Structure 1
Amino acid sequence: MTNTESAGTAAGRVLGGVELPVAGTWKVDPGHAEVGFVGRHFMLTKVRGRFTGVEGVVTVAERPEDSSVEVTIDMASVTSGDQTRDDHLRSDDFFDVTEHPTATFRSTSVSWIGAGGVLEGELTIKGLARPVTLKVEHLGLVRDPWGNDRAVFSAKGRINREDWGLSWNMVLEAGGILVSKEIDLELEVELIHEKD
């Protein structure tokens, strides 16, 4: 070990003075994973939604920048607190879940300093793959009551939904559009360490 690296606790290690997950396979805990999104209605009101069906694997490398992420999202699991809106989101105006039941994200590069970094990746929705940049923060490591080591992360990004052909909208009489093109992504994820 170098002077910037020492043994951590549980499934953690200290790199550059910050405790990070040990190298290995970490699986997304679907019960504690939220892929959220925020758009604006009438260009004013924030409307929040999320996908509850999320699965994935993070392969943590010895060097954090060599790590990789692969995630699958069940698009029918979208929920925004309004059944009519959720049904519309599932329709072919938006996600077309009958023809495209899942979306995927896979990382293409990781840059990491301290407890945070930037994750570049490719998000595929309705068969269209487009680049996405997420700012990631590692919030800590915990051991749950069942002996599982968990790593907790949050991430944020912004996309233009029309890049994926999600272009349904209505022009307002007073000007502007009904639904914003720019969508903020907000992710909260717990990962469970897969022990050998």
Structure 2
Amino acid sequence: MKKLTLTLSVLLFTFVSVFAQKISTEHSKVNWTGYKVVGSNHTGTVAVKDGELKIKKGQVKEGTIVIDLTSLSSTDLEGEWQQKLNGHLKSDDFFNVEKHPTATFTIKEVAQEGDVHKLKGDLTIKGVTKEIAFDSKLTKEGKAHVLEGKIKIDRTQFGLKYGSNNFFDDLGDKAIADEFDIDFKVQTI
């Protein structure tokens, strides 16, 4: 009986420590870059609110990352201009954070090629879910795992059409590119 209890304890410990690893909101970061069609851009950050990664033998198997859109903030502006841009991004023209305070990415499929983890999953923004795929890299820092990557997202697929040449005419230098970039680093606890 002691042997069975010890075996079950070891299996449970292995399952918990190897598979479900909570994401550290403190040590994770997400940076974004949005572009105007004429070439200028805005940069900023958004916080990771919650999530977990399931990792086995150095490979990501599953996971969910929840982004806190209420924390959305530009980093290239200051003062009144920063407040205006932050407010506009949080408005219904863009993310409507009052109604949709989070965005979620759920990993559905992973293919590993060398050091590259090719992740495929469902991204939900503003109540709209679309499948996306991108490359990432998983490393280990002490007991923590770090997943890093870059994603290009077409905002119009999620209903963020404000300033898009594909939906509005005669925008000129006010046109905003449909795609924006996300550069992320999520770390487990």
Q: Of the candidates 44, 64, 68, which is equivalent to residue 62 of structure 2?
A: 68
Aligned length: 164
Equivalents in 1 of 2:40, 2:70: separation in Å? 24
2:177 corresponds in structure 1 to 180
Equivalents in 1 of 2:156, 2:171: separation in Å? 22
Q: Deviations over 1:44-74 (max 9, x none)?
A: 1131122124311001135836x00111111
Q: CA RMSD in A?
A: 2.2
2:145 maps to amino acid: A
Paired residues of 1:33 and 1:54 also in contact (CA < 8 A): no
Which shows bigger deviation, 41-50 or 91-100?
41-50
* Bigger proportion of residues as helix: 2
Runs (4+) off by over 3 Å: 170-177
In the alignment, structure 1 residue 46 sits paired with structure 2 residue 41 = yes
In the alignment, structure 1 residue 137 sits paired with structure 2 residue 131 = no
Q: Deviations over 1:72-97 (max 9, x none)?
A: 11111101132210111111111111
TM-score (norm 2): 0.78
1:185 maps to amino acid: I
Equivalents in 2 of 1:99, 1:188: separation in Å? 26
User: Could you say what secondary structure the match of 2:67 adopts?
Assistant: strand
| Identity score, percent | 27
Equivalents in 1 of 2:140, 2:71: separation in Å? 28
1:128 corresponds in structure 2 to 128
Tell me by how many angstroms 1:174 deviates.
Answer: 8.1
1:189 corresponds in structure 2 to 186
Unaligned runs of 5+ in 2: 1-16, 76-81
Paired residues of 1:152 and 1:191 also in contact (CA < 8 A): yes
Equivalents in 1 of 2:156, 2:141: separation in Å? 39
Q: Taking structure 1 as reference, are residues 174 and 167 closer, same or farther at Cα in structure 2, changes over 3 Å only? A: closer
Q: Of the candidates 6, 31, 55, which is equivalent to residue 50 of structure 2?
A: 55
Q: Taking structure 1 as reference, are residues 170 and 25 closer, same or farther at Cα in structure 2, changes over 3 Å only? A: closer
User: Could you say what secondary structure the match of 2:84 adopts?
Assistant: helix
Paired residues of 2:144 and 2:188 also in contact (CA < 8 A): yes
